[in-house]
Each structure stands twice: as C-alpha cells, then as structure tokens.
Chain A
C-alpha cells in the first residue's frame, strides 16, 4: 500500500475542501468524518485533529464519535471492506457459511485485513436486504443470495 504523509499540506487542503462543502451546515462533524473515511478508508489522527481545529470541536469528541460508529475506522483498513450480515434473517439462511467461505477465500478472520491490504473482513448488523439473504456489502455495493460459488465470483470483481 502507498504510504501517505498525513501532515502534507495538500492533504490538509483536501480536508479543507471537504469541510468547505459542509461549512453552511449545522453540526457537520459526522458528515465531514464520513467523507474523509470515504476518501481515505479511515480517519488518520492528523486529519481528525485538523477537523477538530477547523470545526472548533474538542478532539476528544472527534475521537469519541469516530469510535462510536461501525462504519468509521480510526486504524488503517483494507482497500475494500467486506461486511457480512450476521443478523437473524441472514443467519437462518446460511450467513455462517458465507462467513466461513469468505474466511477461507481471503485467508483471514473477521476483523482482520489481508496481507496485501486489499480486503478487510467484518461482520455487520442487518444490511436491510433480507429479501436476498444471505447478503454482504463490499464498500458501497450489496450482494445477495450468496453461495460459495457466487462469493468467489464476486471476489474476482475486486482482484
């Protein structure tokens, strides 16, 4: 994975332009953190600190918010996040098999990232696509009616 120097001026400028987008909004902290994590997959400390200063929010609060929500990460994660739904509607339609297939295919356990930094595997609460259970979400895209075969097929899209 490329190493990024988070203190670089141009990165702060990019963060500033995200902040600019929400400048008119009331309490934009969560919106800004979401955009940063879309852009860089996680919330590096220097950027959280920068956001805290710009928005005049205590950095302890920024960290509290960043660690509260499942979709925000404060440590580096893989290029693609695979989220397997483990809620009951998927569970009773074979979510555990989906999870074990993914573990086997990716060679990692839940909460881990592949050595090449490509995938992070996570278990998540209901994705709201129970009509096609069992389901998973990779980044912003949802996949349903999963079978081991279909999982392998889907993963090739990201290789």
Chain B
C-alpha cells in the first residue's frame, strides 16, 4: 500500500499526455494504464481479474476497450496509454465482447446463486445483471470439483472459481505465502494449494485475504454459524460473547451504514437480542495483553532477554512465522492473543465467579479474522481444561446471523457491554489498526518504566497505512527503536532485516493483514484501501472518546490481577495467558 502512494507521487512528476476517451480530449500522466486513465476521468470500466494493489493480469478480458487503429480489442488494465490514443469504452463491439466473455465464464459456472456464500456480494452476479445477460449462448461442459473443507478457516469451492487469479496474486504479492497457484492448463486449469494437497495441509496461514480478493463464492470462511445457533439454543450452556476491537467500526457496513461508522452500542444491543448470555469485549483482554506483553518487554530489556520482541496477536502472522521464520521464534512474545486470553479468563476466573462448570460455558468470538478459527482450535489453547474459545465468527457471519433473526443493527438502541469483562480503555481500541498494539504498549511501558505520566498519548509515527513504519521513542533515557509492519510481505521485509542484522529494533508489531485487523480476512466485503482508511479513522475516534486510554489503568484488569492472577507474568498468568509455538515445514 505504501507502494501505491509512492506510485501516485511518482506519476505526478511525470509528463502528461493527451488521449481521447470516448471522443473527449483528456490529459493523463504518461505510464498509466488505459483503465487507470479511465478511472481518473470518472469513466467506469467493468473488471474482474483486476484488483487494487495487485499486479495486473489481463486474463479475464472483461475490461476490454476499442483502440482506434487496432483490429483487436485491448484489455485496458494492461494497456499503457500512448500519446494521441483514441479509446472507445462502450461501443457495440466492446459491449458485445465483454458480454461474450462473461457468458463464457458463466457457461462454466454453477449458476445456483441462491446456494452461494456470496449471493448479493458477487462481482460475477453484478456484471451479469449490469450487462443484461438473459441467456448463455455457449453451453457445454462445466467443470466440477469437490469442495475443499480441509482448512479450519478457508473453504474452497473451485466450481465457483473463474480463474481471475486475484487470490493467487494476493497470496503471492501481498502475503508472500504462495500457498496457492494455478495448476494444469487450458480448460482443465484450476487453482491448487501446494502440491495438489488440500488447503488444510498447505502453508496457508488462514489470513483470509484471498476471500476478500475473490470476486465470487469460490473462497469463503469455514462457517461456525450453525454451532453458535445450537449453543444459544442449548439451555444447558452459558454462552459468552466477545467482540474484537475492529468489529465495532465495520459491523454497520452490512446494514448499510457507511464504512467507519462507530456502532459499539448498537452492536452490543443487537448481539444481546440474538440470545447470548453475556456480551463482553475482547478489548478487555487487549488491555490484559498489554500488561502481559509490556511486562515481558520490560523484563527482556532489564534482564538482557532476546530482542527485538515481536507481538503475537495475529494468528496469521504466528503461523507464517512457524513456517518461514522459526529461527525467530524466541523473539516472538509468548503472550496469547486477546481472543485466547479472554477465553482462558472467562472459563476460569469468570466461571468461578459465577459458579459455573467451564464445560457448560461456551465462549464465542466475533473477529475480523479467519485465522482466529484456526487459532482457537490449536491444541495449546485449552488452559481452562477445555477449549478456551469454542467458536469464532467473522464479521460477515455475525451480520448474517443478525439478519437471519431479523435484527436491523441500524435501528438498535445503544447499550453497554456487561461487567466485568466488558470494561476496556482506548489503548485496547487501537488494537484494531496497524500500529495500535505498539502504541498501546508504548503508553503503558513508558509509564510503568518511568513512573511518570505520559503527556502526549498519540504516537503518530506508528499510525497510518505505510507498509513499514519505524520510530524511536525515548523511555527513561533509553532509545527504544520500534517497527510496525502490516501484511506479510512487509513483515517479511522487516524480519529479513532482523535476520541479517541490518536493522536493530527493540520492539516490532506485526499484523498479517493490510491495515491491521480492520482489514482482516473476516471483514465485510468490500474491504479496500478506502474502507480500511475509514475504519482506521474510526478506531482512533473510539480511542479519543474514552475516559481511560492506558491499559494499566483498566480497573477490571487490575481487579483480575488482584483477585485471581497475582503478578503480571507470574506463574498463574503464565499458565493461562502465555503459550508456545512449533516450527512447521516451509513447503
């Protein structure tokens, strides 16, 4: 994403050239594609394989335009503008050709929209509507494939795949995981995980960015919806909900609220009406995470432990590390993620408080994330004696449940989280955005180390959409060098610097998804740069609006230590709130 801004700046200094778009003379920067030129001029060109932030592919042949003097139509996404170029974007020839390619794609597509996860948010469906396709003229064999349910997070339904490759390029270019690629050729081409094995056996880190990139229902999350309904229904079960920091700024979108609308109160009210017994907040355990991780950092600094310390909140990043950077395992904080800390605390501390057998408690999380489904099923994540977090819903699944129950989030009153695991600070709120964990940690580490009150709480250098952010913060006479990376390609860059010794950091925050959790693979579709920015903005507004903005000031957390955990990083805290990792094959 940093690249995109960089490119824009570069273009501004470039020469302008004159082209003719549908007869209108316009000036556009040299070097842009015809598609980009059209976008700049407000001319809509339909696309499928083109995707913001990825290299252009030119394969779907939907964005075709007519260029004077060329007998063949050109794919606008891969055709650079030339001086004097005369382009027609909606001639009969163009419209017919686009529609024919769409019909060809549809001729190899199930056409059972009602049964599809993306019914209503499918780009193929939208185009068929916009192009007025009423009949498919090229009927023939349709490829059939088994659904791949092997992954705990991502479901693959290759029959719905149109081979646009957006998932492949996302996995390769944005995440550098390369878990999937094209296999076979011609009509037999399909997208395959490593070595033709099921996705669950591959290096896939479950980040779900491919789902956000997929224009159809070929990729979706593995649903926990039915299990959650069953739990709610079951009178024997006490069902506790936790909502991640990023949900409150995106859950409104499926209900027609603009991206970046803060819906905390409405969200709580809506889920309460769904039938959960308690509505708690992952922000509570985010504050708890800061106490544990901050303490770990201070101890490592004081005792000469392994540095840099790298955050561990993002389960996609954790699996990525286990596959590709197991040599840096000891640098990664042993703290569990807020989701898992919540589960462990809920099924011990809170269950005891209520006098409930943890076996009878179901902890459900709503996360902007698909990797959380994988995380909660990890063997290490049962400190309470049973699985600490039972089910993890994405924002999309949660919204669908509300809709099934006929709950319109917009119309909800504002209600408060339940006590005590619903109390949180602004520091926890910013966990949802890239740089947030770092900022929250710095606020607490500074005060805990120096004993002084921090005057300026906003650490602007770690905020924003830049791919890798660096800052040096003076804490108690020590120059603390920090780095923040979001998306795994950026993480890789920082980690390679660490490996080679090129950069000396003390503390690094890594989030697997671009923009941080607000851009997670479980978020509403579309999750694009614009929506990410709006959600980030909202996250900082939530922080600003709260009376308490430092994790160590959270009264509920203080009470938890006092009543139950004892010391941060103490024996009990270690047992419940910390974990270990395992090296995996780098396939």
Contacts and interface: CB of A to CB of B under 8 A. Distances in A.
User: A–B direct touch, CB within 8 Å, in complex?
Assistant: yes
Interface stretch (B180-188, B250-258, B536-544): B180-188
Interface string B549-584: 000000000000000000000000000000000000
B587 A49 contact: yes
B185 A60 contact: no
Contacts of A59: 194-195, 203, 587
Interface residues of A, number: 15
B159 to A, nearest CB: 19
Contacts of A63: 181, 183, 192, 194-196
A130 interface: no
Contact of A68 (B180, B185, B586): B185
Nearest to A61: B181
Nearest to A68: B185
Q: Identify whether the interface residues of A are mostly helix, strand, loop, or mixed.
A: helix
24 contacts: A45-B196, A45-B197, A52-B194, A53-B587, A58-B172, A58-B181, A58-B194, A59-B194, A59-B587, A60-B178, A60-B180, A60-B193, A60-B194, A60-B202, A61-B178, A62-B195, A63-B192, A63-B194, A63-B195, A64-B182, A68-B182, A68-B183, A68-B185, A74-B196
Contacts of A67: 183-185, 192, 196
A48 interface: yes
B179 interface: yes
A131 B203 CA distance: 49
Nearest to A45: B195
A75 to B, nearest CB: 10
Given A60-B202, A64-B183, A68-B184, A52 B587 contact: yes
A58 B587 CA distance: 7
Interface in A65-91: 67-68, 74
Nearest to B586: A53
B150 to A, nearest CB: 15
Given A58-B178, A58-B181, A64 B192 contact: yes
Interface of B: 172, 178-185, 192-197, 202-203, 586-587
A67 B202 CA distance: 17
Interface string A105-129: 0000000000000000000000000
A48 B195 contact: yes
Counting from the closest, the 8 A-B pairs by CB-CB distance are: A58-B178, A60-B181, A64-B181, A59-B194, A67-B183, A59-B587, A60-B194, A67-B184
Contacts of A64: 181-183, 192
A49 B181 contact: no
Nearest to A75: B196
B454 to A, nearest CB: 44
Kindly name the residue among A49, A53, A63 whose own CB sees the greatest number of chain B CB atoms within 10 A: A63
Nearest to B184: A67
Contacts of B181: 58, 60-61, 63-64
A58 B172 CA distance: 10
Tell me which of A49, A64, A74 has the highest count of chain B C-beta atoms within 10 A of its own C-beta: A64
A116 B197 CA distance: 28
Contacts of B179: 58, 60
B225 to A, nearest CB: 30
B496 to A, nearest CB: 13
A60 B192 contact: yes
B409 to A, nearest CB: 39
A45 B185 CA distance: 19
Contacts of A61: 178, 181
Contacts of A52: 194, 587
A62 B194 CA distance: 8
A103 to B, nearest CB: 22
A52 B193 CA distance: 14
Nearest to B185: A68
A52 B272 CA distance: 50
Contacts of B197: 45
B11 to A, nearest CB: 32
Contacts of A48: 195
A48 B179 CA distance: 15
A110 to B, nearest CB: 15
B136 to A, nearest CB: 28
A136 B255 CA distance: 64
Contacts of B182: 64, 68
Residue among A52, A60, A68, A74 with most chain B CB within 10 A:
A60
A59 B192 CA distance: 11
B183 A49 contact: no
B5 to A, nearest CB: 28
A48 B202 CA distance: 14
A55 to B, nearest CB: 12
A72 to B, nearest CB: 11
